[in-house]
């Protein structure tokens, strides 16, 4: 969006605030890809951020300072307030470090919008504009009017931006595909493991039947073993998963693109899914084991 279009949007009576942002990819020492955000000094991100060093009021006061997200400061290993940082072919002084509520932005560096426009050679242009309406119920009407008034500009609500941005769509589809495959493979793995266990202990199961175990008790035995296997798998999976997430978060090349947000409902859902998968995979082995005839099984070699 050009500066003229931004001014026109800001002058609309239904618009309470409009905050432009220009972002691009830059390089820094030992960091081939760093996201840079150009924003205005009045941007609410600065006010909402938790300032760890420097002052919010200093943002944009000089044309030789950049400001780091908290995670970006960690990735740059020791670079902090007052230090010099090479960005692309230029060198800037770090004017402050603040923690941003958005993990993606927290892994980048910020500079005044005008400075970013000069740096990227995109004068009077912004990549996106965050608009706050005085009456949010007029959102659909506002979107339609903006797209008619400015052909080529797409107006999206927050949730629409996430859903329609191609990268997020690809990631969402991939996550669902991997999850479904993992669910199916988990069930098949449990079924295969338990079926092999039944065949390996078919004589033992026959002895249990002779000793008075009912079909239901034999089936419960198989389901119990499947549950134990699932529980051990959950513990090992959590251990491996948390370790991989920690390594990815600490890897400089990811620059805050990966930020673990693990909640109790998510953990509970994983446990329930694992147990359900184990039970599903144990149905056939339990049914087979419960129908073993002791006389025939004792002759099994």
d(CA 251, CA 258): 9
Q: Is pLDDT larger for residue 199 or for residue 159?
A: 199
Which residues touch 58 (CB under 8 Å, ≥6 apart)? 65, 95, 96
Closest to 277 (Cα-Cα) out of 184, 203, 208, 201: 184
Q: Is pLDDT larger for residue 299 or for residue 231?
A: 231
d(CA 289, CA 210): 14
pLDDT at 110: 93
Question: In the predicted model, what is the mean pLDDT of the chain?
Answer: 80
Q: What is the pLDDT of residues 236-256, one digit of tens each?
A: 888 888 888 777 766 655 544
Q: Is the pTM of this model over 0.75?
A: no
In DSSP terms, which residues pair with 112 in a beta bridge?
39
pLDDT at 220: 86
pLDDT at 106: 82
pLDDT at 62: 85
The owner of tokens 């205005």 is 40
Q: What is the pLDDT of residues 99-118, one digit of tens each?
A: 987 777 888 889 999 999 98
Confidence band, pLDDT 50/70/90 cuts, at residue 156: confident
d(CA 182, CA 81): 45
Burial class from Cβ neighbours inside 10 Å (0-12, 13-18, 19+) for residue 72 reads buried
Bridge-based pairing of strands 128-133 and 15-28 is antiparallel
Confidence band, pLDDT 50/70/90 cuts, at residue 283: confident
pLDDT at 252: 54
**Mean pLDDT on 185-189:** 77
| % of the chain exceeding 70 in pLDDT | 85
pLDDT at 35: 83
d(CA 125, CA 147): 18
**Mean pLDDT on 131-145:** 85
| 70: three-class secondary structure by DSSP | helix
pLDDT at 83: 87
| % of the chain exceeding 90 in pLDDT | 8
Q: Is 211's pLDDT higher than 70?
A: yes
Closest to 130 (Cα-Cα) out of 48, 25, 33: 48
Other C-beta atoms lying within 10 Å of the C-beta of residue 159: 8
Most confident of 114-128, 184-198, 283-297: 114-128
pLDDT at 259: 54
Q: Is 23's pLDDT higher than 60?
A: yes
């Amino acid at each position: 969006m050009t500066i003229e279009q931004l001014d026109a949007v800001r002058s609309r009576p239904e618009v309470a605030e409009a905050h432009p942002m220009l972002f691009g990819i830059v390089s820094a020492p030992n960091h081939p890809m760093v996201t840079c955000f150009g924003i205005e000094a009045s941007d609410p991100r600065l006010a909402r951020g938790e300032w760890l060093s420097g002052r919010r009021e200093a943002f944009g006061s000089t044309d030789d300072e950049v400001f780091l997200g908290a995670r970006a400061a960690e990735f740059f290993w020791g670079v902090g307030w007052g230090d010099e940082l090479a960005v692309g072919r230029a060198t800037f002084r770090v004017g402050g470090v603040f923690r941003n509520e958005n993990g993606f932005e927290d892994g980048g560096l910020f500079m005044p919008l005008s400075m970013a426009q000069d740096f990227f050679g995109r004068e009077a242009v912004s990549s996106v504009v965050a608009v706050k309406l005085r009456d949010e119920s007029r959102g659909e009407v506002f979107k339609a009017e903006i797209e008619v008034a400015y052909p080529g500009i797409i107006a999206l609500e927050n949730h629409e931006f996430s859903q329609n941005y191609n990268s997020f769509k690809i990631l969402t589809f991939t996550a669902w595909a991997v999850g479904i495959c993992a669910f199916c493979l988990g069930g098949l793995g449990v079924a295969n493991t338990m079926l092999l266990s039944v065949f390996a202990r078919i004589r033992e199961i026959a002895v249990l039947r002779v000793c008075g175990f009912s079909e239901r008790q034999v089936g419960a035995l198989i389901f119990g073993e499947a549950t134990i296997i699932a529980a051990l798998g959950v513990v090992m999976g959590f251990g491996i998963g948390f370790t991989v997430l920690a390594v990815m978060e600490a890897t400089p090349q990811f620059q805050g693109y990966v930020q673990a947000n693990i909640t109790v409902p998510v953990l509970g859902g994983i446990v329930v899914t694992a147990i359900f998968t184990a039970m599903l995979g144990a149905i056939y082995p339990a049914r087979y084991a419960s129908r073993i005839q002791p006389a025939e099984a004792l002759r099994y070699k």
